[in-house]
Structures are given as C-alpha cells and as structure tokens.
A and B are shown apart, each in its own frame.
Chain A
Amino acid sequence: MTDPVLSIRGLSLAFGGVRALDDVTFDVERGSITGIIGPNGAGKTTLFDCLSGIRRPDAGEAIVRRADGAEVELIARRPWERNALGVARTFQNARLFRSVPIGEILRTVQHEGMARSGFWRSVLGTAGARGDEAEVARRAEEALALVGLSEHADKPPAELSTGMLRLTELAAVSVVRPKVLLLDEPASGIAQAETEALGPLLRRLADHLDATVVLIEHDMPLVMGISDTIVAMAEGAVVTVGRPEEVRQHPDVLRSYLGTTAA
C-alpha cells in the first residue's frame, strides 16, 4: 500500500453485549476497488454506517487523504459534512427519496453544490440561482443517460424495477462526484443477467469518476471479479485482507462461511 485514500483505524462499536465492530483496521488504496465480504452479522453495513455518520462508533477513526496529501478525519464530522469531503454511499435497500421522481432525485442530491442558490436567491430566481438550476438539471440528465434511464425520469422509485433502482442509486452517487464511493450490496435483489452487467458498469463508473470504490457484496463471482482487494469480515472483526485469490483460500474465511473448523 503506497497511497491509501481511506485509512480505517480501530473502529469499534458495541450494541449492548454484541460487538458489531471490533477494532476494524484496514487501508483502501487510491483508485482501487475494494470488496468487503462476510456472512450476515459480520458488521459490514455497520462499518458503512459509521463511515457515513449514521452511527457513531465507540472508538476508532477513519482518515481520508486527498490527492494533495491533506488528511481529514471522518468520524468526528457531522453526517452531512462527509459528502463535501468526497465520501458518498448507497444503501442496502436502494434507499432513495421515495416520493420524488428519479430525475428530480438526481437534482436533489446535488443540493450542496449549488453555492449561488440560497433561500432568497432561489425564491427571487436570480441569475446565479437560475444558472445553478440549469447546471444541476443538465448534470442530472447526463447521469441518468449514463445509466440508460432517461425515459424514466418522471417516475418515482416505486414504479421502477429493483435493477433500475440500483442504477438510479449509482447515478445519484456519481452525480455528486465523490472521491470515495461506498456501495452497499449493489447487486442484491437484481437478476443474474443484470448482476453480470454490473461488474463492468462499476469499473467504468470508477474510472469515469476517478473514484475509489468500496463495496459490500454477497455475490462472489461479482465481487471477486472486480475487486483489487478483498476485506473479509466476521463477527465484527476483519478476518483477513488480501488479493481475491488469497482471500478465497484463507482458512478463516472458509470457516466463517461454511461454519466448520475443517479447512
């Protein structure tokens, strides 16, 4: 590891007696795709929740390094500040703004980027605010076109298939131009053919955005196929970190998946 964009150091979180995260520590290399695997209850989503600010860990830190070398600690920041630091995430259940058409969702998520659109400027429709609106609309259309959903722009999430929702989500995180993209099970609930198409799409997205991707995924062919590095977790702790083929053979990983001590 030479240039980690994200360094997670000793993240721990307990829910009562359950240790959801137990001293989780690993680095994410800039420009890489890192897959996080592990059985249900391994603490994968909890880790994302800590990184995006939904949960506050009991201990530990997460440091984001910008390209210029500046370091920012993430955990101490408020949830909504993390987006501006270049960290964006998707949700396991493709959580979006449910009552809003997807075209508008893609404009909504660009909220913070609209520096010339304060309350009064928006209400009065100043040139700056109108410019912001036009720019935001343009980028929203672009992102929607990128995932091939332009014709569905007026539909709310409830009218789209799961696969389309996943794509909308990817469009939403990409439109805010993040540096670190946290994807929580992007393939869950979608058809096999779509899953197979997802790998190349994620790769393309990462290159297009020049972003680092961390993804939680249960679909082994997908995650093993596109990841540069795999982090295997079990019972809140990191079991091993390594290249996909190494992790696949790791006895502890086999044990946590198959529940047997005979490796």
Chain B
Amino acid sequence: MQELLGTFPGGLVTGSVYALLAMGLVFTYKATRVPNFAYGAMATFVAFFHYELVAGRRFSLDLSLLVVRLDADWDVQLSFWAAIPVSLAAACLLGLVIERLVIRPFARSRAPMVVMIIVTLGLALLLAALTQQLFGADQLIVPNDQAVLPRTPAFAVGGVNVSWERLGVMGLLAALSVATWWFFKATRTGLAIRASATDPEVAALLGVSARKLAVVSWVSGSLVAGVAGIALASVVVTSDPNLLMLLTIKGFAAAIVGGLVSFPIAVGAALGIGLGEELVRHYLVAMDAQLWQGAPEVLTLGAVIVVLALRPRWIFTGIREDEDTGVVGRSGAADSALARAIDPVEAFRLARATLPGGLATWAGWRPLRRAALVALAGLTVLFPVLPFVDDFYTLPANLAIAAGVVLLSFVVLVGWLGQVSLAQGAFVAIGGAGTAIGANTLGLPFPLPILCGVAIAVPVAVVVSLPALRLRGLHLAVATMAFGLAAERAIVPRFDASDRVAPPAWMATDRAKYWVFLALAAVAVAVCWRISATRIGRSFAAIRDSEVVAAAYGIRPVRVKLTGFAVSGAIAALGGTMLTYQLGAVGTQSASVFSSISALANAVVAGIGSLAGPAIGAFLFHLYPELTKGEVQATSLSFWPQITASALLILMLAVNPGGLASMARFVRSRASAYDDADEDLELDDLVAANDADLEVVP
C-alpha cells in the first residue's frame, strides 16, 4: 500500500503534464475545429524564449536571405517573473501570427480533416525547427536557480518526496481547470464558443463572428501553451523541441478519449495515462528493465487505441467528419444537410479534393517527359560510377534510396488510400529488426533476411490497421501516432547498435549496396505501379474518395484497407532493411514518430499521389542536402532545410490542389478571395439554414 501510494505523486505530475497539453488541444478544437498537432511545439517555442530571457544569453538573430542580411545582437537578462509578461506577450503574438498566416486560409475554405492534420503537423515541424534555429540550442536545461518553484521537497507520500516545483505543476493544472470552467461558463466569449460549437449558423445569426472567435481562441490557446511550456520545461528538466511534440501525442491520446471536446474526460484520461505509466514503470520496468522496455507507453497508449477502436458513443458525438466532403461537421449530419440544401451537386463539386499533387505534378509535364526520364534513369543507374562521384557521395545516395522507399509507403497509404498514418517509422524499425533477426538469430543467407523483415511487417501492419477499419481521419491519425510512439519506445531500443547486421562480402562496398538497393526499390516501385494501373489501385481511390459510395458499388472497405496497410507496411519495412544493411545496425533515427511526421511532410511536398513523388523527395530532402553540405557551414547545425520544407508544405496545402505550379495564380487571385468568401459563405449559410433538409437532422 505504502509502495502503491508512492507511485501517485510521480504519476499525477506526469499526468498533469499531459493534462495541460490535452486541455489546450480541447480548447482550440472546441473553438475552431482544428486539431492542433503543433500545440507542443508552440509550448516549446515560448519556453525556449522565456528561459533564453532568464538565462540572459545574447540574442543574436542572424538571418541571411538571398542578399538581405539581418544581423542583430542584444543582451537581455530578466528575472524569472520579470520575463513572464514578455514571454506571454510573445505567446500571444505567436498565436496571432499562426492564426492569421497558417490557419485562416484553411478555416474558410473548409479544408478536409486530412489537410488540417497535415497542416498542423507541418506547423509543428516548422516551429520545432525555428526554435532550434533561433535559440541555437537543441536542448533546454533549466538549472536549479531558475526553476519556477524550489526543487526542494514539500512533503513525502509513501516514502517519495514531492518537490514544490512538481506540486506547482499540479496546482497550475487545477488553476487552469478552474479558469477554463469559468471562461466557458461565465464569459461572453466562452458562451459564444459554446454556441458556435453547437451551431455556427445560429451563432452567426446572433452576431457571433467566427473569425473573431478563431483569433481569440488561437491567442488564448497560445497563451495557455506558453504557460504550460514554461512550467513543463522546468519540470521535465531537459526538454528538446521534439520531446514536447511527442508529449503532445499523449495529450492528444487523452483529449481524444473525451472526443476532443470534453475537458473533464480529457483531464481524467491524461491523469489516468500518467498514473498508468508510473504504475507500469514502478512494478514491471523496475522488475526487469530489459524485458519491459517501453511497456508504459505500450500499455497506456494501447489502452487508448482500444478505447478508440471500441468507439464508445461519447467520443463520436464530438467529432463527425462528413463522409462526402471530409469536412468536419459539428453535430452529426447537419453539415451535409446544409451542403445539400445550398445545392447538393455544387457542394459535392466544390468540396476540395484530397491532397495537392506536390512537386510531382511537374513530372507530368509532357514535352520534357520521355527524354528526361531516360536521362534521369541512366544517371540514377550509373550514379556510383559517374566521374565526380566517389564513396563519399554513394553513402548519402544509399540512404536517400532507403528514404525514398519509405516515402513510397506514404504514397500508397496516404496518397492513394487516403489514410493518414503516422506509424510508418515503426515499420521501418520492424523491417530492420526483422532483418537483424533473420541474419543473426536465424542465420539466413543474404536475400532472405530482407524477406524476413518485410514478412514480419505485413502481419503487424494488418494488426495496426484493425483500428483503421473503424477509425477515420483524426482518430486514425492519433491512433497510429500512439502506435508509432509505443513502437518507438518498445521496439527500437531492443535493437540498438549492439545488433550488428553484416551484408555478404560482395555487397560490402557502398557501390554494391547502391545497386542492390536500387534494384529493390525498383521492385517496390514496379509493384506500386501495377497496383495503380489495376483494379487494386482503383479500389484504393474509391475508398479514399468515399467509403459509402464504394460500398454501394460492392467494394469492401475492410478488405481494401487491409490490403493498403499491408502493402504500405511491407514497403516501409523494405526501407528499414536497406537502412539496416547500410548502417550495419537497426536504424533508430528513421524509426521515430518524429521522423514519420517529417517523412509525411516531405512526401506531401514532393507529391503524395504519384510514383514520381518519392523519387523527387528522396533527391530533394535526402540526397541534395548531403551533396551540397560542403558549401554550408559544416560546423553549425542548420535547420533551414526543415524550416523551408515545412513552410513549403503549409503553402502548398493552402494552394491546393495544383501544387507549386499553381502558386503564381494563387498569389494573384486567391489571397484576397478568402476575405470576400467569408461574407458570401455566411450569407449562403443563413439561406441554407432556413431550408435545411430536415430529413437527416437527428
């Protein structure tokens, strides 16, 4: 009993951390229907800013853009509390900028959920990279004298000391909970948000401005993120931008149990996850750290996935994605009824198609096509023996091929089947692990370990896709993210550098590996090409566009999704086996959720719908930066590639669907059109609300 009690403080503190994040997510979602995957990144940004002020380091801003060079230095040092107003002001500004530049273009064009997920993921990547670039550190360590509250014990429970600082986090959660409750209960804005969440048309009739609400909620959401970030950075002790982003996954897992709209359920689930992790850590991991590695994540996130897949009613009352348009509705069928009432066919036609074509749309430029393709193919095959290429370049080329294969797995799953999965990194790890098992444990001769890695991935992919059979859009993204995180913690550490995988003697050189990898990638591309050209690819597109219509024509969503997940998992695993052979050990870098997210972002920019996309992505995001590395300062880590890539992603999604090619047109016409569309739509909505088809309103 004493021992059990001892797990409570730690569990509650961890749970409070998740709960703070979950509350912010619910807040933003409730008000704007945007799932903010960038929440943790926003919190981190403010936290870094704040402790930078407190530490009194020199702020040096060194931006060189083309010919303009911005160089600024200033020394600032503030006390913790003096820095608070400055940091919170910065947080508000951040929220304002994000709402205006990133969110608004999507909010009014009724972007489908898939797009919103990828946009905020891109924003998360952008902020994480910006944080590291601007503050020049990839870790934030808050020393004892800068902690919010003293780290000395306040009291002890079950023999475990609870510090003032940790007590403070729980206090902060309690205070924010009360404040939130009061905000929604007693303030005009809170009431307006609740009204708008229930029925935006009626709310608009009563004078609630959706735009104003969005601004208010993003600014206050960012403020809460800032407060949470500053407190959490202190408690988590060492935090890097990616860590808080990963904590956001747990916040999301908790929030989605409450349908992303219920504060009490979200906070309860967050505390439950925190306590559950601590219990598992205390009882199982302490018993055998090796055996139970990753068990806290696996068990708690697994529980969330199970809850999601069993879909109790309360989760789904909050979020309804319109089957037809992918647009997020409010309370059931009202939105599609509305769309139908305006003009059913028009609504169908105007609904945005899936994702933009990305850079790969240029690959379809006909005059260039055949000659260019032949030349490119020739260059690719001959790459290792080109005059200026030595082994120094072959290594990154090999890694780029592996990365391209992983991108290909996203094309199949996200581009063709329309399922946003963030667990691809896990399959990379599984492929690598399978190769290690095949080569070392089973002692199989060369090509077989590759098959072993791919073969193990297929049944796992089928298991992972089981929730996908019942979940769509946001739920699926969160469930696969949870799986990815659990796999990252449970699988990857077991196969770290200790498990060497040696290729056969003839494949020892990077050059030989290059051709082997290229051949394997060619096989994967050929399979995908056959899929896209036949019945299988058509059934993927059917499920992506509308499961209801597909089923009406006899296409079985379950079978098609299982097929897609299995193919995509197998391809990602193939990428994992390549990485393993190249690195000589199971690659851990590409196996994280973080790299899944950035791979997804790269895949979208390069072109998620076409086979040319992965090739473009592999070159642009993996080979090219390596080839040109010598020209950039080799000493300092540069995050500009990630910054440009994620900014490009957001821009590209805003321009949807023509990809970069249509960007010029966008800048001319659409930029101002959003503001006009605002008024038009509201008028339309009012007319529509009047004679909405009652038939489908529950």
Contacts and interface: CB of A to CB of B under 8 A. Distances in A.
A236 to B, nearest CB: 9
Contacts of A52: 552
Contacts of A16: 698
Interface string B312-346: 00000000000010000000000000011001111
Interface string A40-53: 11111110000011
Most A CB contacts (10 A, CB to CB) among B535, B563, B698 go to B535
B409 to A, nearest CB: 16
A150 B336 CA distance: 31
Contacts of A189: 343-346
A112 interface: yes
Given A93-B324, A111-B542, A122-B530, A157 B556 contact: no
Interface string A187-217: 0110000000000000000000000000000
Given A40-B693, A42-B695, A112-B554, A99 B354 contact: yes
B505 interface: no
B551 A79 contact: yes
B535 A122 contact: yes
A129 interface: yes
Nearest to A20: B695
Contacts of A91: 549, 552
A15 B553 CA distance: 26
Given A88-B553, A97-B546, A97-B549, A108 B343 contact: no
B158 to A, nearest CB: 49
Nearest to B541: A100
B396 interface: no
Nearest to B538: A108
A132 B535 contact: yes
Contacts of B181: none
A111 B535 contact: yes
Interface in A206-241: none
Interface in B338-376: 339-340, 343-349, 351, 353-354
Contact of B347 (A84, A93, A107, A133): A93
A12 interface: no
Contacts of B552: 52-54, 79-80, 82-83, 88-89, 91
Contacts of A100: 538, 541-542, 545
Interface string B265-279: 000000000000000
The interface centre, meaning the residue of A114, A122, A124 with most chain B CB atoms within 10 A of its CB, is A122
Contacts of A117: 534-535
A147 interface: no
B384 interface: no
Interface string A71-88: 000000011111110001
Interface string B665-698: 0000000000000000000000000010111111
By CB atoms of chain A within 10 A, which of B344, B534, B544 has the most?
A: B534
A41 B538 contact: no
B236 interface: no
Interface residues of B, number: 44
B527 interface: yes
A177 B347 CA distance: 29
B110 to A, nearest CB: 14
B553 A83 contact: yes
A153 interface: no
A29 interface: no
B437 interface: no
B557 interface: yes
Contacts of B554: 80-84, 111-112, 176
B546 A95 contact: yes
B548 interface: yes
B299 interface: no
Interface string A90-129: 0111111111100010011101101001010011110001
Nearest to A48: B552
B548 A122 contact: no
Nearest to A41: B694
A89 B550 CA distance: 11
A180 interface: no
A98 B545 contact: yes
Given A117-B535, A123-B527, A123-B534, A112 B555 contact: yes
Given A119-B563, A122-B534, A95 B541 contact: no
B539 interface: yes
Interface in A35-74: 40-46, 52-54
Given A40-B693, A94-B345, A108 B353 contact: no
A172 interface: yes
B348 A95 contact: yes
B345 A165 contact: yes
Contacts of B542: 97, 100, 108, 111
12 contacts: A20-B695, A40-B693, A82-B552, A88-B552, A93-B345, A99-B354, A99-B545, A100-B545, A104-B541, A122-B534, A157-B348, A189-B345
Interface of A: 15-16, 18, 20, 40-46, 52-54, 78-84, 88-89, 91-100, 104, 107-109, 111-112, 114, 117, 119, 122-125, 129, 132-133, 136, 156-158, 162, 165, 172, 176, 185, 188-189
Given A79-B548, A80-B550, 17 more contacts: A15-B697, A18-B694, A18-B698, A40-B694, A42-B695, A54-B552, A80-B552, A82-B552, A96-B549, A99-B545, A111-B535, A111-B555, A119-B563, A122-B536, A129-B534, A136-B535, A172-B553
